[in-house]
């Protein structure tokens, strides 16, 4: 597509429930990234996929967080047993390479109540 598409745009969930966030990158972009932006905070790296290489999961805050990328395209970020501190905007970005611009989606605003 023309841009990076994320869904849902907003998600309210109860504490303890699992959630799945979806990212459709720009067609042909081999690199895909997930970041988290909390209110008043900066951008926190979560996970990075590059082509067929093993993903860089070094930013995932706990084992409740996981992500996969199927067929080198769509990615799903899963948060199990959500906690209130998981409330944030989850941003996805894709790019052709590390010297190109990264295109960000509009994000999914997750609220855990």
Partner 1 sequence: GNSVTQMEGPVTLSEEAFLTINCTYTATGYPSLFWYVQYPGEGLQLLLKATKADDKGSNKGFEATYRKETTSFHLEKGSVQVSDSAVYFCALSGGGNQGGKLIFGQGTELSVKP
Which of 71, 67, 94 shows the shortest CA–CA distance to 3?
Answer: 94
Shortest Å distance, C-beta 56 to partner 1: 6
What's the CA gap between 17 and 81, in Å, rounded? 5
Choice between 14 and 52, CB closer to partner 1: 52
Residues engaged in binding partner 1 (CB under 8 A): 31, 33, 35, 42-43, 45, 48, 50, 56, 91, 93, 95, 97-99, 101-107
- How many of the other CB atoms lie within 10 Å of CB of 49? 22
Of 21, 18, 23, the C-alpha closest to 10 is 21
Closer residue to partner 1, CB minimum distance, 14 or 99 = 99
Question: Which residue lies nearer to partner 1 by CB, 80 or 106?
Answer: 106
């Amino acid at each position: 597509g023309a841009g990076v598409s994320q869904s849902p745009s907003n998600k309210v969930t109860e504490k303890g429930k699992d959630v799945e966030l979806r990212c459709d990158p720009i067609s042909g972009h081999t690199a895909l990234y997930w970041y988290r932006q909390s209110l008043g905070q900066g951008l926190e790296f979560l996970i990075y996929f590059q082509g067929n290489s093993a993903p860089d999961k070094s930013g995932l805050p706990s084992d409740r967080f996981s992500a996969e990328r199927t067929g080198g395209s769509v990615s799903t970020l899963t948060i199990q047993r959500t906690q209130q501190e998981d409330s944030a905007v989850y941003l996805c970005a894709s790019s052709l390479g590390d010297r190109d611009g990264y295109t960000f989606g509009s994000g999914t605003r997750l609220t855990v109540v």
